[in-house]
Structure 1
Amino acid sequence: MRILQIFGFFVILWHGQFAFRMKETEDIITGGCKKLENTTPLLRLKKYLFCDYDSTVRPNHHKVVTNITLRLMPKMMEFTEDGVLTLHSWMSFFWTDTFLTWTPSNYNGLTYIHVQPFYLWMPDIYVYNSGDMTSNDYQTIFNTECLVFNNGSVICVPPIKIVSKCDPDYTYWPYDQHTCLITLGSWSHIGEEMDVHLDGTGVDMNGYENNTQWDMKLLNAKKIVKKYKCCPNDTFPRIDYTFLLTRHYSIHYRAYIAPAIALIFLTLTVLWLDSRSVERVAMASINFICHLLCIFDLYWMVPFNGINSPHIMLFYRDSLILATFALILTALLRKLQNISMEMPNWISSTTTFILSNKAGRFLVLNDEKSKIADGGIVIEDNLNTPKSEMKKESWRHFATIIEWLSFFCVILTYVIILITLVLSGVTN
């Protein structure tokens, strides 16, 4: 019996403490809340503006258009070889919200306030030609505050990342230029509900930091209004920003253009040397190897360009063909000059005709043992010369003629290649 009395005493004590705590909490809730809107005009103003405000409702009558003014302020850019332009920028949005107006004298002269964007109706401006459809960079707008003025004007300047897909053309690499288009517009509203406009020129490039690989310039910024067959009575406005990207080619010029010029002179030097010399064989082999190394290096450096090959690859390909021709020709001429068989009549007559001219004698007869007398070929002290040596001498003359013809033909070929591949880029 005494145990029951003790147990009841503890139950009554616990119940009393619980009731006391509930009453204390109730006093804090009912008596501790301050009416701050009566002490600060900013809180009174925000309560007045957003008491019945709905951020999902467009801030105009449904028959009145909401005008959005845009200004793009690029800061940095990145461009990949796949043609994806990433533009880090600020974007200013300006519109008028008729639901957010007040009289400044009623609120201690307040003419503007800072408001978090998720409290406001925001224009759904998206990049139509986005190169990254998986991310939602539009949410970055909700990370910065907006300014709301007493006449209903709203301005937001959020940092945004625009990812746009370009159509690159590397035909004239490393002197390539690419035109990139960024298209902005409303995702769900037609032009009769929400219209977009440019703020002045629409772009402010004063804060842009130059890229070490690309030079970016604004070509055009304009508003375009289109209609579609599906909705003949509705308009769909958009803003098109067109940028020109030009590659800084200085490093590529030193790495690939200068060696290409050197290889031209190396190939011509091979053809200018005497085919009987060992130096010509060595230089022809080195020339061929250098062409291969340059082409292998270009394969990893030059971006793929669809069905069109970059002109620099075409140049190295054609130059490799000429280097191969010079190497094979050197081997054939060395073999030709050691032939002791009788020269065919058409070759003999052609050689005699060329040597009968001053230009031919100047180019071919550079051997001190030979000279031209009375318009014909006379070999000094050739009475005791074996007949086989005389035949070889005739073949050497013919080989020398082929050397000079190939030298001038290769020069002409290089000129044609440079005109078609390099100078054609000036007209495009």
Structure 2
Amino acid sequence: MRILQVFGFFIILWQDRVDSIYLDALIAAKLQEDVVIRGCKNLEDTTPLLRLKKYLFCNYDSTVRPNHDETVTNVTLRLMPKIMDYSGDAGILTLHSWMSFSWTDTRLTWTPNDFDGVTYIHIKSYELWVPDLCVYTGDMSNDLVLEMPTTDCLVFNTGSVVCVPAVKYMSKCDGDYTYWPYDQQMCHIVLGSWLYGPEELEFHLEGNGISMDSYENNTLYDLKFVDVVIHVKKYKCCPDETFPKIDYTFLLTRHHGINHKTVITPAIALILLTLTVLWLDSRSVERTAVASVNLICHLLCIYDLHWQLPYNGINPPNIMLFYRDSLALAIFALILTTLLRKLQNMSTDMPNWISSTTVFVLNNSAGRFLVLNDEESKIAGESIVNEDSSNLQKFGMKKSWRYFAAIVEWLSFFCVILTYVIILITLVPTG
């Protein structure tokens, strides 16, 4: 029985040995297959380009940074915007652009004479080590791209690599529509490495870091490059590490041609319409009709403006504040018209302070010019020359309520003009 146990033990050891040998054979076959796939087979009789790629990429690892344990990798950048889109409600700037990357990879050098004078080759970006560059100010759930978009790169015999992928950068802007439709938006696109610190990866700018030669202007906004700054910053998540980032600043200026005609011109017309209401005689039916139309026009303009204004930004647009204040003046003009019509039909005696105020105004030539008609002004003037104050007072009491209403009309007219001047000075853009 003991002999059978020992024999069974040797059988188990032998089976484990066979399985181990079989597993080693499979691993070797897999490695050989990988070597063939990577191109590490004999290509001596093929074209120079195939031999060069075998020479460069047989043992090349695209996940390892050039000069990994030696020096920093210097990457030169240049942004070349193509088209731009800005969403006013969301405050999102979308920039479609080309981005030029260039760096040196010492593992990709060769002697041109050994390969029939080939000095450069085209290689897909996913076959190379490429710098990671993501947008720090964008939607991190969608736009945090750690890999360069697939493109063809030029690799030169000196190890210099140049890639120009098409990129789309999205950034959240702090919208300010205070002076809409003459608003200007300052937007920042902040780019940086997510994996490497400044001791591993260092960014440099080619020229001023941007080229606007191929940019096609937007129909709503004019895009202007302001500045670009490269700086190193520490973050709360990693206080012992620093990360380089590139901050592009753009100024977006709205093309206000259409808005000027559809928003600003009606605002000027409403000012004139409100002043016309106060200019007309409060006893006339025309004044009541114009005042009603003026109120309706204000409401329609505000309703239309409601659909044009972007729903973003902390401060309300000044144009909306203007329409609000102008609407208040239009309501005031309509209510005043109704009250003055009622006032002029009153037959009760005037209080002493109203009577005294009316007589005081009529004692002045400017007051008589505004309040009285030609015949009444002539009679009042003769009374003053003869210094017959009792006649003037008797004359003033005949239609005292109408004269008082006329005084209120002119005071309201000049007060509304002054109010509009203050509103315009306060709300009109100064830049």
The normalised TM-score by structure 1 is 0.85
1:368 paired with 2:372, answer no
Hey, what does 1:88 align to over in structure 2?
A: 96
CA distance in 2, matches of 1:145, 1:37: 26
* Aligned partner of 1:98 among 91, 94, 106: 106
Contact 1:355 1:377 in 2 (8 A): no
CA distance in 2, matches of 1:325, 1:137: 58
Contact 1:315 1:417 in 2 (8 A): yes
Equivalent runs, 1:252-291 vs 2, <5 Å: 252-291=259-298
Hey, what does 2:31 align to over in structure 1?
A: none
- Match for 1:374: what amino acid? S
Secondary structure of 1:152's counterpart equals strand
1:134 paired with 2:170, answer no
Cα drift, residue 134 of structure 1:
2.1
- Match for 1:99: what amino acid? R
Cα 1:139–1:234 change in 2 (3 A) is: closer
Equivalent runs, 1:6-405 vs 2, <5 Å: 37-81=44-88, 82-131=90-139, 133-135=141-143, 141-142=149-150, 144-228=151-235, 234-366=241-373, 368-369=375-376, 371-372=379-380, 373-375=382-384, 376=389, 393-405=399-411
CA distance in 2, matches of 1:364, 1:37: 111
Hey, what does 1:410 align to over in structure 2?
A: 416
- Match for 2:303: what amino acid? F
Cα drift, residue 130 of structure 1:
1.1
CA distance in 2, matches of 1:132, 1:172: 31
Contact 1:170 1:304 in 2 (8 A): no
Q: Which aligned segments of 4 or more residues in structure 1 are displaced greater than 6 angstroms?
A: none
Sequence identity (%): 66
CA distance in 2, matches of 1:35, 1:229: 53
State the Cα deviation string for residues 231-273 of structure 1 (Å, max 9, x = none): 6664321111000000000100000001101100110010000
- Match for 1:126: what amino acid? C
Q: What is the Cα-based RMSD across aligned positions, in Å? A: 2.1
Can you give the 5+ residue segments of structure 2 that lack an aligned partner in the other structure?
1-40
Can you give the 5+ residue segments of structure 1 that lack an aligned partner in the other structure?
1-33, 383-389
Cα 1:136–1:221 change in 2 (3 A) is: closer
Secondary structure of 2:226's counterpart equals strand
- Match for 2:99: what amino acid? M
CA distance in 2, matches of 1:216, 1:366: 60
Cα drift, residue 346 of structure 1:
0.8
Cα 1:326–1:213 change in 2 (3 A) is: same
State the Cα deviation string for residues 158-217 of structure 1 (Å, max 9, x = none): 111111111111111001000110011111110101111111100000000000100000
State the Cα deviation string for residues 292-338 of structure 1 (Å, max 9, x = none): 00111111111124442110000000000000000000000000001
State the Cα deviation string for residues 370-402 of structure 1 (Å, max 9, x = none): 6312325868x98xxxxxxx8661100000000
Secondary structure of 2:206's counterpart equals strand
CA distance in 2, matches of 1:187, 1:233: 15
CA distance in 2, matches of 1:357, 1:277: 26
Contact 1:132 1:164 in 2 (8 A): no
Secondary structure of 1:339's counterpart equals coil
Contact 1:83 1:167 in 2 (8 A): yes
Contact 2:177 2:313 in 1 (8 A): no
Contact 1:177 1:246 in 2 (8 A): yes
> What is the aligned length?
383
